[in-house]
């Protein structure tokens, strides 16, 4: 299968060897009262990508592709949250503090769940990650290797933090990565634009980018 519209040049992949990786589409980042807002961000900006991400998720499931969801999540005793992360900046609530959606960025809390509309389906991989990257201190690489995955399609939030970090980690592990432009968002539009540019610069130094519609069209084309 080929995404002709991909940048900086067409992206070839096989559904059976490709996973859709949706990064951190959690209430903690997407809704008021969560981690994103405690850092001073306008979380309403992120809602814009939900329809495109949902359309891609539905089509990818329909095609039988592997789906991976990640959550930035710490264990209840915060033993996987370095003080340098917890103490950084001047948030209104720190990781582990009790907020309106439960303890901020702690696994199992209401705010830590993926938003309902993109909730994982039975059998899909869900990775709880203590870092920004999806490969750091998780079993993701082994799970993908076991399934013969060579290509990753990325969406999720935020573009320049957890999405970009995960893409760079994936790139170093040998995956051909593509970022779905309208399925990722940042609290800072300029950072999103810069990330898309830097990913595909220098002949796709980190990977490709393409609109979600290009993937939908490719999946609809007869084989
Ligand atoms: C952040 C993330 N922004 N999921 N996490 O702290 O990008």
**pTM score of the predicted model:** 0.98
Q: What is the pLDDT at residue 65? A: 98
To the nearest whole percent, how much of the chain has pLDDT over 90? 98
Confidence grade of residue 204 (pLDDT, cut at 50, 70, 90)? very high
Question: Ligand 1 atom 2: the closest Cα is on which residue?
Answer: 162
CA quadruple 93, 98, 100, 101: dihedral sign: positive
Active site residues: 24, 129, 162
Tell me: cis bond preceding 158? Omega within 30 of 0 counts.
Answer: yes
Tens-place pLDDT, residues 110-130 = 999 999 999 999 999 999 999
Confidence grade of residue 60 (pLDDT, cut at 50, 70, 90)? very high
| Contact between 180 and 207 (Cβ < 8 Å) | no
Q: Which residues contact 128 (CB under 8 A, 6 or more apart)?
A: 70, 71, 73, 107, 138
Structure tokens at 107: 């696994």
Q: What is the pLDDT at residue 222? A: 81
CA distance 119 to 132: 20
pLDDT of 223 > 80? The answer is no
- For residue 156, which atom of ligand 1 is closest to its CA? 4
CA distance 112 to 105: 6
Q: At what angle do helices 164-172 and 189-204 cross, to 10 degrees?
A: 20
Which of 132, 179, 191 has most ligand 1 atoms within 8 Å of its beta carbon, as the pocket-test mutant?
132
Q: How far is the CA of 141 from the centre of ligand 1 (A)?
A: 20
Count Cβ atoms within 10 A of the Cβ of residue 185 and give its class: 0-12 exposed, 13-18 middle, 19 or more buried. buried
Which residue has tokens 């980042």?
A: 29
Tens-place pLDDT, residues 131-181 = 999 999 999 999 999 999 999 999 999 999 999 999 999 999 999 999 999
Pocket of ligand 1 (CB under 6 A): 24, 29, 72, 132, 157-158, 161-162
- Mean confidence (pLDDT) of the chain: 97
Q: How far is the CA of 38 from the centre of ligand 1 (A)?
A: 12
CA distance 156 to 5: 20
pLDDT of 7 > 90? The answer is yes
Q: What is the pLDDT at residue 120? A: 98
Distances (CA, A) of 46 to 42, 92, 173, 177: 8, 20, 29, 22
Per DSSP, the three-state class of 113 is coil
């Amino acid at each position: 299968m080929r995404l002709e519209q991909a940048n900086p040049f067409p992206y070839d992949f096989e559904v059976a060897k490709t996973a859709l990786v949706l990064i951190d589409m959690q209430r903690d980042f997407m809704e008021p009262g969560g981690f994103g807002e405690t850092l001073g961000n306008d979380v309403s900006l992120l809602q814009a990508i939900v329809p495109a991400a949902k359309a891609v998720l539905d089509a990818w499931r329909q095609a039988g592709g592997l789906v991976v969801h990640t959550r930035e999540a710490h264990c209840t005793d915060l033993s996987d949250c370095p003080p340098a992360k917890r103490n950084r900046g001047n948030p209104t609530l720190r990781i582990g503090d009790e907020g309106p959606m439960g303890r901020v960025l702690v696994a199992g809390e209401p705010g830590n769940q993926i938003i309902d509309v993109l909730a994982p389906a039975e059998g899909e991989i869900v990775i709880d990650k203590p870092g920004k990257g999806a490969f750091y201190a998780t079993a993701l690489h082994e799970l993908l290797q076991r399934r013969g995955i060579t290509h990753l399609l990325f969406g999720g939030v935020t573009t320049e933090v957890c999405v970009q970090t995960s893409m760079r980690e994936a790139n170093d592990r040998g995956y051909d990565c593509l970022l779905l432009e309208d399925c990722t968002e940042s609290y800072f539009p300029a950072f999103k634009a810069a990330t898309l540019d830097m990913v595909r610069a220098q002949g796709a130094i980190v990977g490709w980018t393409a609109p979600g519609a290009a993937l939908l069209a490719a999946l609809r084309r007869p084989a």
